[in-house]
Structure 1
Amino acid sequence: MDRPADLVAAWRLLAVALVIVVLSQLLGIRRIEVGIGTILLLPLLYAFLAGLVLNPSITGRVGKVLGRREVRLASPLIIVAILPFIARFGTTIGPDIEAVIAAGPALLLQELGNLGTIVLAFPVAVYLLKLRREAVGATFSVAREPSLAIIADRYGLRGPEGAGVLAVYVVGTLVGTIVFSVMASFVASLDVLDPRALAMACGVGSGSMMAACSGALAATLPEMEDTILAFAGTSNLLTYATGMYVTLFVALPLVEWMYRKAHPEDTRAAATPAATSDEEGAR
């Protein structure tokens, strides 16, 4: 490891991040009227887009502002950067704990909503995009870190299932925050669903997506900010606590069954051990 070069890269990364944050805050919240709804563009969205533009892995060396070394150093800092936001959620859950408890069954049952990824995405992946075993990894969940662990353990990440879950993970990381922030503000402005239900929907098991979604909802309904943050934080926590079991014991077997129905001619084993996949990839 080249420590002097890493130190310079770290300072350059922090300086660029500071500039992005300041400019994003100066732009502020923008409202776009779309038919009967409203889309809120938040500073978080501007910062995320700026990060995409300056990422050499996506757009190349734009002005040579950031390089591969900075990108490598930025990856572990994502967790550090999101911790204050998670701490803020903790302070809002306490005062609203009675409302959270009152909605207990709804919070627990909302985890079943994650199975919607199968209903919506599997037919598209198999029948429209003509994916094979990649569809299993791509559609059984929202493809966050626990999903990667499940696929890595059961199939290995070098096989088609691993390729599917990694592809969705990368796409979700790149555009999921943008989609969540825009969609949340627009749906909330329609005044059709209860804001607490929308806040629960923010907790899909991703810190960045939850932050974007709940932030957009709070900006749309500032009078319910604490309630929205409390429900979103609790939902996200429950998704991590119970979502892995739902994904492992319900979603993945369901996708495997659907795949066998769609491709009965595929005689490969439904659950290839990770070690076998790794051995095949090493040959």
Structure 2
Amino acid sequence: MKNWKNHLLVLILVAIAEAIGVMKFKFGPGTIVLLPMLYALIMGIFLSPKFLKVVKEKDMKDAGALITISLMLLMARYGTMIGPTLPKIIKSSPALILQELGNLGTVLLGVPVAVMLGLKRETIGAAHSIAREPNIALISDIYGLDGEEGQGVMGVYICGTVVGTVFFGLLASFFAAYTPLHPYSLAMASGVGSASMMTAAVGSLTAMFPDMKDTLAAFGAASNMLSGLDGLYMCLWLSLPLTEWLYKKTYKFKYGVEATTSKEA
């Protein structure tokens, strides 16, 4: 909290990003929505030691400690939208809870692809989930972030932060335009545990269905909160053990030998 340089830079980046505002582009029948959050992220990347060197490694570590607090403020804002639509959310609660089984789809698709691309133990961290903050904490606790599993989860986390908002916004528009899925179901599906990705997806849906604006935001926020609550346990009890098992099977299929075990396990 004593790093005033970070606070000043954040204030400047936010002011510039908000001045640019939301940008919308038509993509077929859908809409791609670029949010100020994305502009701030890109500008922040160029301030890093690898580019303009405005910030140092210490500044980046100090900023990283505040990510969770910042996201808590965002989720508190979304929480205020849930109250007026609470009856609809309660009716959809089974769907909101069961959607966490979608984590298993990430494993079944991601592990074979990662191994075939040549990844080793990095596959465990990269493919067990979409690798947001709770998943980083889980991998750190079990394997450690200095190991291969930690490198995998951090790699996916960074990629998700950089391109995830654009990808989710585009994906939501595509499914809303080309599939019979209801906008409410798409809003629920956007709550995967990432506030930025959920915001981008709901923003795209809101641009296409402005009359459903408040309800879409409420469904997305409620889904995201539930993902944060039970998603971690879903990963711990189901997706992570499945990832380990599938990794060993896929590794043996490709290389013909047993997979190595983690030094941290």
- For Structure 1 versus Structure 2, the TM-score category normalised by the shorter chain is 0.7 to 0.9
Structure 2 residue matching 1:158: 3-state secondary structure: coil
Kindly indicate whether the alpha-carbon contact (under 8 Å) linking 1:41 and 1:182 is maintained by their aligned counterparts in 2. no
Kindly indicate whether the alpha-carbon contact (under 8 Å) linking 1:44 and 1:212 is maintained by their aligned counterparts in 2. no
Query: In the TM superposition, what whole-angstrom CA distance separates every residue of 1:104-138 from its partner, at most 9, and x where no partner exists?
Result: 111111111122211221221111x1222221221
In 1, Cα distance between the equivalents of 2:32 and 2:91? 30
In 1, Cα distance between the equivalents of 2:237 and 2:140? 16
Determine the structure 2 residue equivalent to 1:266: 258
Alpha-carbon offset, residue 267 of structure 1: 5.5
CA shift in 2, pair 1:87/1:146, >3 Å: closer
Q: Which amino acid letter does the alignment assign opposite residue 33 of structure 1?
A: K
Structure 2 residue matching 1:113: 3-state secondary structure: helix
Structure 2 residue matching 1:32: 3-state secondary structure: strand
CA shift in 2, pair 1:15/1:148, >3 Å: closer
Query: In the TM superposition, what whole-angstrom CA distance separates every residue of 1:18-41 from its partner, at most 9, and x where no partner exists?
Result: 333333333333222223332122
Query: In the TM superposition, what whole-angstrom CA distance separates every residue of 1:180-204 from its partner, at most 9, and x where no partner exists?
Result: 2343344445464211112112211
Kindly indicate whether the alpha-carbon contact (under 8 Å) linking 1:114 and 1:141 is maintained by their aligned counterparts in 2. yes
CA shift in 2, pair 1:69/1:133, >3 Å: closer
In 1, Cα distance between the equivalents of 2:147 and 2:61? 25
Kindly indicate whether the alpha-carbon contact (under 8 Å) linking 1:30 and 1:42 is maintained by their aligned counterparts in 2. yes
Between Structure 1 and Structure 2, how many residues are aligned? 261
RMSD: 2.6
Structure 2 residue matching 1:263: 3-state secondary structure: helix
Query: In the TM superposition, what whole-angstrom CA distance separates every residue of 1:126-152 from its partner, at most 9, and x where no partner exists?
Result: 11x122222122111111233233333
Determine the structure 2 residue equivalent to 1:277: 264
Determine the structure 1 residue equivalent to 2:41: 48
Match 2:11 to one of 4, 12, 18: 18
Determine the structure 2 residue equivalent to 1:95: 84
Are 1:236 and 2:221 counterparts? no
Determine the structure 2 residue equivalent to 1:202: 190
TM-score, normalization: structure 1? 0.80
The equivalences for 1:111-130 within 5 A come to: 111-127=100-116, 129-130=117-118
Kindly indicate whether the alpha-carbon contact (under 8 Å) linking 1:177 and 1:212 is maintained by their aligned counterparts in 2. yes
In 1, Cα distance between the equivalents of 2:127 and 2:45? 25
CA shift in 2, pair 1:157/1:23, >3 Å: closer
Structure 2 residue matching 1:131: 3-state secondary structure: coil
In 2, Cα distance between the equivalents of 1:150 and 1:72? 19
In 2, Cα distance between the equivalents of 1:13 and 1:122? 37
In 2, Cα distance between the equivalents of 1:231 and 1:185? 16
In 1, Cα distance between the equivalents of 2:238 and 2:144? 20
Determine the structure 2 residue equivalent to 1:82: 71
Kindly indicate whether the alpha-carbon contact (under 8 Å) linking 2:128 and 2:239 is maintained by their aligned counterparts in 1. yes
Greater CA radius of gyration, 1 or 2?
Answer: 1
Determine the structure 2 residue equivalent to 1:281: none
Kindly indicate whether the alpha-carbon contact (under 8 Å) linking 1:138 and 1:167 is maintained by their aligned counterparts in 2. yes
Kindly indicate whether the alpha-carbon contact (under 8 Å) linking 2:33 and 2:166 is maintained by their aligned counterparts in 1. no
Kindly indicate whether the alpha-carbon contact (under 8 Å) linking 1:45 and 1:181 is maintained by their aligned counterparts in 2. no
Kindly indicate whether the alpha-carbon contact (under 8 Å) linking 2:47 and 2:55 is maintained by their aligned counterparts in 1. yes
Displaced runs of 4 or more, over 4 A: none
Alpha-carbon offset, residue 52 of structure 1: 2.1
In 1, Cα distance between the equivalents of 2:102 and 2:21? 33
**108-117 or 33-42, which moves further after superposition?**
33-42
**134-143 or 16-25, which moves further after superposition?**
16-25
Alpha-carbon offset, residue 100 of structure 1: 0.3
TM-score, normalization: structure 2? 0.84
CA shift in 2, pair 1:134/1:149, >3 Å: same
CA shift in 2, pair 1:44/1:185, >3 Å: farther
Alpha-carbon offset, residue 225 of structure 1: 1.9
Alpha-carbon offset, residue 206 of structure 1: 2.1
Kindly indicate whether the alpha-carbon contact (under 8 Å) linking 1:89 and 1:233 is maintained by their aligned counterparts in 2. yes
Kindly indicate whether the alpha-carbon contact (under 8 Å) linking 2:21 and 2:36 is maintained by their aligned counterparts in 1. yes
Structure 1 residue matching 2:32: 3-state secondary structure: strand
**91-100 or 195-204, which moves further after superposition?**
195-204
CA shift in 2, pair 1:106/1:40, >3 Å: same
Alpha-carbon offset, residue 177 of structure 1: 2.9
